Structure 1
Amino acid sequence: MNAVNGQNCSVYNPCGRNGYCTYEDEEPICECKFWWIGTFCNELTNSGKQVIILGSLLGVLIITFHSLNIFHLYRQRKRQPKKATKKVQSNDPTILDIAVGQMKRSAGVTSCIIAVLIVLVAGGTLVAKWSLLQPIHTELVNRYNNDSPLYYESNSICKKIQMQRFNILTFPVACFIILIFILITKRTSLLRKQCPRGIAPPMPVDFLSRIDRKFAAVIFAMCADELFTIVKSIFESASSNSNDSGVIISYLERIFQVLIIGFRYYPLLAAVYLDSIVSLVCGTLYSWLDYSITIVNQGLCNTDFYVTLDQYISAGNESSLAARFDYYGTGSTLLAIQLCTDIPRYLCLAYVSIKLPFLLIDKIRQRLKRSSMSDKERMMMKLTREERILLRISDPGSPDMLYVRNLFRQTDQRPRSHHLIARLLPKFIYEWRDDFTFSTRILCIYSSIILLLFFITVQACVIILPKLNSFQKSLQSTIDLFSTSSEDGNDDQPVDPATTQFPVPSLQRVYILAVVTTVLLITIQLLTLLANIRRNLFQAFRGDDSEIPRRQRSRYISYSAGNIHFGGYCIGYLIWGFILLAFFAIILWTCVEAFINFSSVRLIETLLKSIIPSLLFIYFKQYLNKLLARYVFLQHGGQVLAINNRRILMIFIYFSLFLDAFLGFISSITRLLLSVFYGIIYMCRLDYSPLGRKLELMDGGFSAYCGYIHTECCHRHPVMLIFASHLFTQFKMNQYKQIEHLGQLSDPDRLMYAQRQKKSLRAIRKWNLGVFLIRNPMIAFFRKAYLKQLDVDDLHALTDLDGDANNRNQRLAIYHRRGSVAGLSVIEETNAELHKQQRF
């Protein structure tokens, strides 16, 4: 610090932009920034000069390295021979033709009617809620103007329709409908003695199939509102620190709330999955009842921004509604925000309430047309939904059939997608493929996540923005208190904002920018996760374990448990990732805003002054190593991993050993900081583990992701599904031909035909089995009669498909002993990979 005589800091700053003008013992003093010294902070210290020189050298090194790289790539590309491009006449339709065709297919009469009815019902619901909220809003405004406690007394019916805990109106109806579904459901069992055609609870959703994906996704989107309410109550209970019932009881209450949510939406999903007239009638009536009660509950009992008497008492006779009225005004702004927030919610409810009656009408129409159906159509009607879907898999245009066809094509020979979104989206953002569709589970998870992200963002903006002014004042007072106590030791001395260590800017714009940044980052991460799920499934289909660890028999239970946790972990990691990203985004934008408004911040300048020299030295050494490695120590400019100038390399490694010990210490700190930074950025993605490749299975989220990928690969492998669909199609075709042929015979001829057919079928099966074993001799090892002759160790080694490398020698010995039966001459150890390929 240097004294400045005859100057007044409040009138004129003699220190310029390189220093702070402060007072000490009523004398103005210049406190210089960074590496400036002198009376007026107009001279550089030796450290400052050295930092500038090192930064200049680093800049020259970076420019040289990248310039040489560009020149090397240009020369290499110029030396390559030009490839003759052939003009291929493509018969692909234009974007306009695709758009028109897709519009004709999707915009049918029924779809248009459903869309219009959804808009009308949702609009009517918003008008009804406005009529319910308007008296509440007027009452609270009058209380605000009269300085009365801001709360409203809920209606008496609210005690009966509390949907978070127990609903005595819809919960018994839901249980009764579930009981009806259990009685009409017939369990299909392959074991004849295990409760044949007995009753069983219906599945709400088959997550491994593609049955009613859109309807299930809408239902799970409706659940996002309930999930947000539970998350909000958890944070409120954690902040209040008042838990009279105990920790375990509170956890049991949360579990009970989740079960109530499941029972609420179970009848709707099960009704569509059963796809019968009785189930659709029950589901339609229940959806209308639930819709009407939801309107009353969210209009009178459970509003988002208005406080009830019970909430006012539980908050300690305090209400944050006054701050909202101060910020948004006493007009209809808060009411309009509430109605806009409800638009996605009521669109989903309207879709369910409209879709179920249309499904019922379509089912009745099919039942009335049954008399005019052909025998083939009647036979198809007798099939279950799973059987009909299995038959459609072998259609030429199904995604699984397209995947199998693309296995025999090169990447550039695959046909382009015929979806409009595939032509509009650039491939570097997302490549739409017709040979893959996501399962119902992924659509349900993402629909819940999207709506949950919407609710969290809206609530975070509407509730927190009115509180930022008071929080900014308290935060500035806290920072100034610590800064003055550390310097002067007097906590009561007022601090000038111009001399504070960190001047806090206005937090309104900072908070909005932080929320927007968080939403954008999470959206990008979710889209990347969606693309990675498809890529990892393709890798699992072809046996590539470069990203997902190979399946192991010892971890089957872990895979199954992880598959169960996958959906819930996605939502939980998203919530925690949103909180962390928002927190660090607020810190980042606060620093940026402080620099923009105040031009300098002492605390950040102190940190940069200690960090910049180390970072310059580290990057200078890294780029020096890269430059020498490419053009001195490697042959052909780094294109070949072969050492050049070995003697100079050994000398350089010798001296670098001692220097890199210091750099390694700094790099370890950087490694820790980067792991925390990227762990926060990738928190909402389960396909990324911050623990590294060796410890990634200790990460619960990544373990759940691996379990999901392996389970999907086992049950939705396209080649397996095509093979099963082909067999089932041939079986049904033969069955239909046999029924058609028997219908043309008389009773005696039909009996004689059945006896001859039984004998001929037995001979045909044996002949087909013999030909199949001759063409595929390795299958003989897996026949039931041969497997019964083996002991337990040999049987385990032969059937262990996932531990192939560990049991290879024992398996080869078994093959060698059985070689004569299989028809193979020799099975040698050198041909292990060949026989491994033949086996699969």
Structure 2
Amino acid sequence: MSSVNTLIVTILSLTVVVDGLSNCSKYNPCSQYGYCRTDSNGNMSCECKFWWAGTICDEQTTSGKQVIAFGCISAFVIALYYGLGLVRYIRNRKNKSKENQKKENIEYPKLLDVALKTVRRAPRLSLFLTTVLIIIVATAGLLGKWKILQPIHDEIVNKYQTKQSLYYIPNSFCNSIIFDQFNVITFPVACLLIIMFIIVTKRTSLMRDKCHGYGGLPIPVDFISGVDRKFAAVVFAICADELITIFLELVGGRASREGEGIILTYLLHLLQVFVMGFRYYPFLAAVYINSIFTLICATLYAWLDYSITIVKQGMCEPDFYSTYDQYRVKNSTTVDVMFLYYGTGPALIAIQLCTDIPRYLCLAYINVKLPLLLIDKIYFKFKGNVSLEKKLLLKLTLEQRILARVSRPNSVEMLYVQNLFRSTNQRPHTKNLFGRLIPKKIYEWRDDFLYSSRVLCVYSSIFLLLYFVAIQACVRVIPYLSLVQTFLQRVFDAVTGLIAAFSTNDNTEVNGNTSNFPVPSLVRPYIIALFLTLIIIIIQLLVFLVNIRRNLLQTYRGDDSEIPRRQRLHYISCSSGNIHFAGYFIGYLIWGFILIALLSTIISISIEAFITYGSVRIIEKILKYIIPVVLPILLKQYINILLAQYVFLQHYGEVLALNNRRILMIFIYFNFFLDAFLGFVSSIFRLIQSLIGGILYMCRLDYSPLGRKLETLDGGFSAYCGLIHTECTHRHPVMLVFVSHLYTQYIMRQWVNKKIFFTDLSIEKKYRIQIRPSSRYIRKWKLGAFLIRNPMLVFYRKAFLNQLHIEEVRALNDIDDDGEKNMKQRLSIYTRRMSAAQLSIASDNSIKDSKTERF
């Protein structure tokens, strides 16, 4: 049979040569499992795919038959394992007793009742009015930018059609408000407002007797607490766009001027970051101070900044149109490519406005929220029928009011304390309508937990940053993909040609696609890879957000199974990591996005090449070496799992107790030598898995690719541990509730001592019950009973701590890994102090006895 095929191929080759068709591009005698090759002499031959052989690649080799058989056996073992697992699952569900299936009879409110109650309780008019005003202000801003961009667009289109240089002359207004990338209007106004806020802010610790206590630096955001989280998150989301612009200019966007140098250029970009911080400082400080004066100033400044932003971005800094200086420096044809791909219509303006929708919504939120806060503040100031409790709270500072509200029954911290002695099934469902709509298997919404302002600010910045990057990656890169495809094809041809030249001596040409890796059209795989990257990043960010809550709750109760326990030697490292958390998170996210995008692009291009051309020779060669190695490892792993579950362990693996001990020892004996060969191959896969896992988990600071023993060497993980320990130290719910209760009672006692009379009888009765003075002997008896029931609190009493040295105080305060050693040290301190006290008492008694005898 083979001789007949050889004769046929020879006859066809002679016929082709005679007809002048002496290459494989004219005729392909090979089957679908082979490639036709033509050497320099005009002789044709077939290069077979995978495990096919023969003259025209129509015969399967012995290796191919063995791979197919081995693959069938592996598939059978895998199907057997999952089939047995499915059978056991169905049988266990049927055999479950009804007593175990019954849930505890806890009556929870229905979802409809919660929805109706939420609707009735919600400030419908205020929320509706705020939403409408935000949409109106954002739409007005976008329309204003459209009107400003339209003349510039028409000018550039006219020059494009007449084949002129594509640049525009900006208005003189741009030169008057922008000086070397700095806004000369908003920046001085922001600095003036900051100085005014410093004047009206009281100092709390430093030189409080100077200038009547005024002249303190206002806090922009209290990142640890949950005050004004939404407003702060919106402001930080706006900063994301400006931050990515500065970053792109630093990496390679704007060239430095002559004589500046790289260090000076870097410092100028850092100065731009500080200027951006000063620009939004007054907004945050005004909301935090929350006075009529600061809110008026911030409202006027917000309207000024919003107007200048519209004019500046539309007239001075459009996305796709260059000024004369930019055109001279770059000397690029970016606008030509954009017009060629998107046309000369309003498509580019529409793209710019779509990109600006989230930014303008955030700006509109600031411009609407500040006046509403001001109106609410004025209305509350001149309102007559204000409850006494609110009047008393107004006399406190913002920090004092925050601490006093913690002890309320409906506060987040109080709910956490109430749920401490409840099991998961007994914990009441959330009252949030949105939280009840989410299945518990995906995410359990808890009313007794609140993310800090810092976490929300970081996430708002990141999500808006991802939106900007995704839009720009689609709009700016897609027109250049045809050029990229040509470049990649040349690179692959050169590389594969060089490899073929070293591996073979003959010069052959392959039928059809002359490349070993033909590059398909990149538009579809690029878009798929981009959306796949966004999906992976978003999933990782959401999982990371859930893990932040889980790790915080674990740290609250002293569980160090995931986060290493804090130690005194690492306090500085924790503080430093807490400072670096936001910056590290954003930097890791950017690198994770780039690496995942590259990996998904390679995979998408390979799949697209298979779909377009049906076969890719270089990938087929790689698979030809990988498949015979993967199949034995896969079969061996599933055989071990089957034997471990159904042969070597009791109760099908539900109990870690050996069964069939003799067979297990024999199996381990022979498996010892077998795994020596498979372990070498497994180590290669371990490296590949580590590389892919490191890429996919790059943006996850709670995951360290270095492993549990070396995770503290990872800067990102150390920053995350610093955040967790810092928030646990300052936001522990039990501590806050306890301190809030003590502080509230202390404040009420002060008010009573100052003879503040209560006009509301109910409030008078309420507070007089809490602050009723008790006898000194009763308080001493209560204290003694409390210390007997909680003897460890004796170590933390003020009278006891005053007798200790600093090292002894640290021993009582630290929470080290060696808990037994720490406890022994505490007991030795206690024993030593008690023995000293007993000796002093004994000496006093001996002195008294001697005095009595003398008398």
TM-score (norm 1): 0.90
Matching residue's letter, 1:380: L
Range with greater deviation from structure 2 (13-22 or 770-779): 770-779
Instruction: Map residues 54-65 of structure 1 onto 2, 5 A cutoff.
Output: 54-65=70-81
- Taking the aligned partners of 1:580 and 1:231, their CA distance within structure 2 comes to 18
1: distance between equivalents of 2:238 and 2:486? 39
**Equivalent in the alignment of 2:372:** 358
Q: Give the corresponding residue for 1:444.
A: 457
The answer for the alignment partner of 2:711 in structure 1 is 696
Greater shift after overlay, 582-591 or 400-409?
Answer: 400-409
- Tell me by how many angstroms 1:103 deviates: 3.4
Residue 401 to residue 190, structure 1, CA distance change in 2 (3 Å): farther
Write the distance in 1 (CA, Å) between the matches of 2:660 and 2:788. 60
Match of 1:429 in 2: 442
Partner of 2:19: none
768-777 or 519-528, which deviates more = 768-777
User: Which residue number corresponds to residue 834 of structure 1?
Assistant: none
Give structure 1 stretches of 5+ with no counterpart. 745-756, 824-840
Pairing 1:491-506 to 2, within 5 Å after superposition:
498-506=513-521
Q: Contact between 1:526 and 1:685, CA under 8 Å: does it hold in 2?
A: yes
Question: 2:196 maps to which residue?
Answer: 180
Contact residue 510 and residue 593 of structure 1 kept, 8 A: yes
374 and 55 in structure 1: CA distance in 2 versus 1, 3 angstrom threshold: closer
2:810 to 787, 796, 805: 796
Are positions 1:782 and 2:796 aligned together? Answer: yes
Q: CA deviation at 1:735?
A: 3.8
> Counterpart in 1 of 2:666?
651
Deviations for 1:66-113, whole angstroms, at most 9, x for unmatched residues? Answer: 233334444555555432655877654443443343334444323322
Alignment of 1:422-821 (within 5 A): 422-487=435-500, 498-739=513-754, 769-803=783-817, 804-818=819-833
Secondary structure class of the residue paired with 1:188? coil
Of the structure 1 ranges 810-819 and 20-29, higher mean CA displacement relative to structure 2 is found in: 810-819
1:736-779 CA-to-partner distances (Å, cap 9, x unmatched) read 445557689xxxxxxxxxxxx99988777656544543443333
In the TM superposition, what whole-angstrom CA distance separates every residue of 1:769-813 from its partner, at most 9, and x where no partner exists?
Answer: 445434433333333443344455444333323353443333232
Aligned to 1:748: none
Who is 2:334 aligned against? Answer: 320
Please show how residues 116-135 of structure 1 align to structure 2 within 5 Å.
116-135=132-151
Q: For the structure 1 residues 585 and 86, does the alpha-carbon distance in structure 2 shift closer, same or farther, using more than 3 Å as the test?
A: closer
Distance change (3 Å), C-alpha of 1:657 and 1:196: farther
Contact 1:284 1:356 survives alignment (8 Å): yes
Q: 1:150 and 2:163 equivalent?
A: no
Report deviation, 1:655.
2.8
Q: Quick one: distance in 1 between partners of 2:111 and 2:834?
A: 58
- What amino acid maps onto 1:29 in structure 2? S
> Once the 2 structures are TM-superposed, how far is the Cα of residue 649 of structure 1 from its aligned partner?
3.0
Q: Which amino acid aligns with 1:776?
A: N
Q: d(CA) in 1 for partners of 2:180 and 2:426?
A: 54
| Aligned counterpart for 2:243 among listed residues 223, 227, 239 | 227
Correspondence for 1:283 = 298
The change in CA–CA distance for 1:663 and 1:284 in structure 2 (over 3 A counts) is same
Q: Secondary structure at the match of 2:177?
A: coil
- Where 2:36 maps in the other structure, the secondary structure is strand
Partner of 1:115: 131
Counterpart Cα distance in 1 of 2:93 and 2:391: 65
Q: Conserved in 2, the CA contact under 8 Å of 1:221 and 1:348?
A: yes
Query: How much has 1:435 moved relative to structure 2?
Result: 1.2
CA deviation map 1:550-572 (0-9, x unaligned)? 11111111111111111122211
Q: Distance in 2 between matches of 1:335 and 1:296?
A: 15
- How far apart are the structure 1 equivalents of 2:86 and 2:725? 43
Are the structure 2 counterparts of residues 497 and 220 from structure 1 closer, same or farther at C-alpha, using a change threshold of 3 Å?
Answer: farther
CA distance in 2, matches of 1:491, 1:284: 79
Cross-structure match for 2:851: none
| 3-state SS, counterpart of residue 22 of structure 1 | strand
Secondary structure of the residue aligned to 2:184 is: coil
Check 1:483–1:390 CA distance in 2 against 1; reply closer, same or farther (3 A cut): same
| Contiguous gaps of at least 5 residues in structure 2 | 17-23, 760-770, 839-855
Name the structure 2 match of 1:349. 363
Change (3 A) 1:704 1:84: closer
**8 Å CA contact retained: 1:376, 1:736:** no
Secondary structure of the corresponding residue to residue 642 of structure 1: coil
Distance 1:561 1:687 in 2: 17
C-alpha contact (below 8 Å) 2:35/2:47 kept by paired residues = yes
Helix, strand or coil: the match of 1:29? strand
Does the CA-based 8 Å contact 1:635-1:643 persist in structure 2? yes
Matched residues in 1 for 2:712 and 2:348: separation? 47
| CA RMSD in angstroms, aligned pairs only | 3.1
Deviation at 1:166, TM superposition (A): 2.2
CA distance in 2, matches of 1:289, 1:760: 59
- Larger mean CA deviation between 187-196 and 529-538 belongs to 187-196
The equivalent of 1:753 in structure 2 is none
1:419 paired residue among 432, 442, 448: 432
Structure 2 counterpart SS, 1:807: helix
Q: CA deviation at 1:63?
A: 2.0
Aligned residue for 2:352? Answer: 338
Task: Write out per-residue CA displacement over residues 275-334 of structure 1, whole angstroms, 9 at most, x where no aligned residue.
Answer: 11111111111111111111111001111222222222221x123111111110111111
Task: Kindly report which structure 2 residues correspond to 1:221-260, keeping only aligned pairs within 5 A, or say none.
Answer: 221-237=237-253, 245-260=260-275
Q: Per the alignment, do residues 158 and 494 of structure 1 end up closer, same or farther by CA in structure 2, a change over 3 Å counting?
A: farther
**Which residue of structure 2 lines up, in the alignment, with residue 838 of structure 1?**
none
Among 31, 42, 48, the residue aligned to 2:64:
48
C-alpha contact 2:462 2:586 (8 A) present in aligned 1 = yes
Return the structure number with greater relative CO, CA threshold 8 A, min gap 6: 2
Mapping 1:28-107, distance limit 5 Å: 28-75=44-91, 80-83=96-99, 91-107=107-123
Aligned length, in residue pairs? 808
Q: C-alpha separation between the residues in 2 aligned to 1:54 and 1:739?
A: 90
Given that residues 484 and 495 in structure 1 are in contact (C-alpha distance below 8 angstroms), is that contact kept between their aligned partners in structure 2?
no
Provide the rounded CA distance (Å) in 2 between the counterparts of 1:411 and 1:758: 38
Q: CA deviation at 1:249?
A: 2.3
| Of 798-807 and 382-391, the range deviating more from structure 2 | 798-807
**C-alpha contact (below 8 Å) 2:223/2:454 kept by paired residues:** yes
1: CA distance between counterparts of 2:381 and 2:108? 40
Distance 1:536 1:486 in 2: 51
Supply the AA of the counterpart residue of 1:253: L
Change (3 A) 1:441 1:426: same
Mapped partners of 1:682, 1:519: distance in 2: 13
CA deviation after TM superposition for structure 1 residue 451, in Å: 0.7
Moved more, 101-110 or 377-386: 101-110
After superposition, the Cα gap between the structure-2 partners of 1:758 and 1:282, relative to the gap in structure 1 and judged at 3 Å, is: same
Mark the CA change 1:492 to 1:509 in structure 2 (over 3 Å): closer, same or farther.
Answer: farther
**C-alpha separation in 2, matches of 1:146 and 1:39:** 62
Cα distance in structure 2, aligned partners of 1:742 and 1:283: 37
Q: Name which of structure 1's ranges 157-166 and 219-228 shifts more when overlaid on structure 2.
A: 157-166
User: What is the aligned counterpart of 1:210 among 211, 214, 226?
Assistant: 226
